[in-house]
Amino acid sequence: MINREDMLELTRRMTPERNHFDRIAGAYIDKDGDFDGSFNTHFQKLKTREKEKMLSIAKAVPFSRTNEELKRAKFPGKNPEEKELYQLLCGLLDCGLKNDALLDSLYDFMMERQPSGRPYAILVFHGMYDIPRKSSAGEYQYESEDVYNYLICAVCPLAGEYEPELPVKGFIFPAFSDRSADFTHIDMYRRA
């Protein structure tokens, strides 16, 4: 089960002033399911309006209805395909989304599982959340307890040319559990 407070802790940091994303990458897929371009940039280089739009997309995944739209799954399972995806996601975490070949592999994986018929975007966010220490009274202190290095992936229909809407599915990897990274689980999102 996902603790709602963990997800709220992440989303509270997803504002233009407090966000902890350092990189965003994405691919655009046309209505026939064919690759139509990609990008990979430092998150802080986005214009204010773009930054706000992308933050609302990233935030939609952890802010969704916990344990209904956002569910925790054991990861990887025994399926060899899941083990390959696990290695791919760990590689993307390690490089902080700076390896386009790994990103292309992720896009291919996602495209194989997404029905065509409407253009969509695959957006991937990399964040490093410096988890503040909590006092025994539950108050946040400014000292860091740990760093949560993670990815949010969002699959978004396109409203116009390269204009992503809110996501219809996605994930958070590794899962954020008890205020730390849980590499044995992934939080999967599917809009109801």
pLDDT, position 17: 86
pLDDT, position 13: 85
Alpha carbon 44 to its chain centroid, in Å, reads 17
pLDDT, position 52: 95
**Residue environment code for 151-179, b if the CB has 16+ CB neighbours within 10 A, otherwise e:** bbbbbbebeeeeebeebebbbbbbbbbeb
pLDDT, position 135: 60
- Give CA–CA dist 164/157, Å, rounded: 6
Weakly modelled stretches of the chain, pLDDT under 70: 134-144
pLDDT, position 136: 60
**Which pTM was predicted?**
0.93
pLDDT, position 142: 62
Q: Which residue has the tokens 């975007």?
A: 121
Q: Which amino acid is located at 41 in the chain?
A: T
pLDDT, position 141: 58
Nearest to 55 by CA among 24, 94, 14, 92: 14
- Ordered by start, the domain boundaries in the chain are 4-132+140-190
pLDDT, position 137: 59
